[in-house]
Structure 1
Amino acid sequence: MWKQDETGGEVEREQERWAEDKRSPSKKSGPTLPDEVAFVGKDVEFKGVITYSGTVRVDGSLEGEIHTDGGLLVGPEAVLKAKVTAGTVVCRGTIHGDIQAKDQIVLCAPAVVQGSLTTPVLSIEEGVVFNGTLEMKPQANVEVLREVGSNMGNMTSRPPVQRLAA
């Protein structure tokens, strides 16, 4: 836990960290998300269906469904038991349920995800626990692929596959 001081509380520091993650060009898989339109704090427990446009951040407990064309940020202490439909999902917490993302899913350590994922682009950091199924479908928004693809240039490439004549 962080100690609160005169420059701001733990919520402000966590928001700054998320904001820095969004702006940092050095992140390999960091999607660019719009500013948050809603925030579910870490001591909040919510049951029901959330439908919104834009980006929401969840640090608390949520049970039900989340529907958006925008982004979903799941904090490291968040626990979701939900069916998620979103444009982009960035998870550092726990999600039990199916996730369908139109643009991409980014799983950052120490995330724990149990359920099926459907997305055109998936990024998983070392230290993430994922138990479930994955279905990758073509992407409607080619711009996100270009953004993520440009960050993948540092990876060691494999030699090309050669076909042998029969």
Structure 2
Amino acid sequence: MFRRGGRRIPASEEATAAPPPAAPLGRVTSVLGPEVRVKGRITGRGGIRVEGSFEGEIDFDGLLVVAESGRVTCEEARAKTIIVAGIFKGNIVAERVEIRRTGRVWGDVVTTSFATEEGAFLRGQIRMEEQLPAEEAPPAEAEAPPEAKADATEAEE
């Protein structure tokens, strides 16, 4: 038993003390539904939840959630936070990575914060860093290349 503010705290009360709340992860602003299959590149900001299948490149300034029904295949995914409850094949670079109990990851992870639930699967290496090196940090919102801007302008006309 310990004392807090001059009063004795029973051991049973100590054990039930709630941990401090975790920092907010962001919110999902876009969803690839369970019947959707996409090949390509995901870039931008905000939060995206993959419930279907995605194959390609991910370079995202925000939250990426791979739902239980989701499947992601990419050489490397970069985001601020990546939560995997489905299947992820590829390397992960993110400030925060969580693998849920239903999550399956095949690839290496570079992160500053890592959490797994019992039952989660990871085949790869985890490299913990105090801070992500600049070349491995998730991107800040990048400006579109000039040719992409030209294509968008032509499409509007």
TM-score (norm: length of structure 2): 0.67
Question: Residue 29 of structure 1 contacts residue 106 of structure 1 at CA under 8 Å; is this kept in 2?
Answer: no
C-alpha distance in 2 between matches for 1:55 and 1:117: 20
- Aligned residues with identical type, % of pairs: 31
Aligned-residue Cα RMSD (Å) equals 2.0
Count of paired positions: 114
Corresponding residue SS for 2:69: coil
The aligned counterpart of 1:7 is none
1:61-140 superposed matches below 5 A: 61-82=53-74, 83-101=76-94, 103-139=95-131
1:68: Cα distance to partner? 1.1
Greater Rg over alpha carbons, structure = 2
Contact 2:27 2:63 in 1 (8 A): no
Structure 1 runs (4+) greater than 6 angstroms displaced = 26-29
How many angstroms does 1:34 deviate by? 2.3
> After the TM superposition, which residues 1-166 of structure 1 pair with which residues of structure 2 at under 5 Å, given as runs?
32-82=24-74, 83-101=76-94, 103-139=95-131
The one-letter code of the counterpart of 1:79 is: R
The structure with the largest helix share of the pair is 1
Q: Structure 1: give runs of 5+ residues left out of the alignment.
A: 1-25, 141-166
Please list the CA deviations of residues 91-143 of structure 1 after superposition, one character each: whole Å capped at 9, or x if unmatched. Answer: 10100001000x21011111000001000111011001110011111137xxx
- Identify the range of structure 1 (55-64 vs 27-36) with the bigger mean alpha-carbon deviation: 27-36
**Shift in alpha-carbon separation, 1:69–1:27, aligned structure 2, 3 A:** farther
Structure ranking higher in strand proportion: 2
Cα deviation, residue 29, structure 1: 8.9
CA distance in 2, matches of 1:113, 1:138: 22
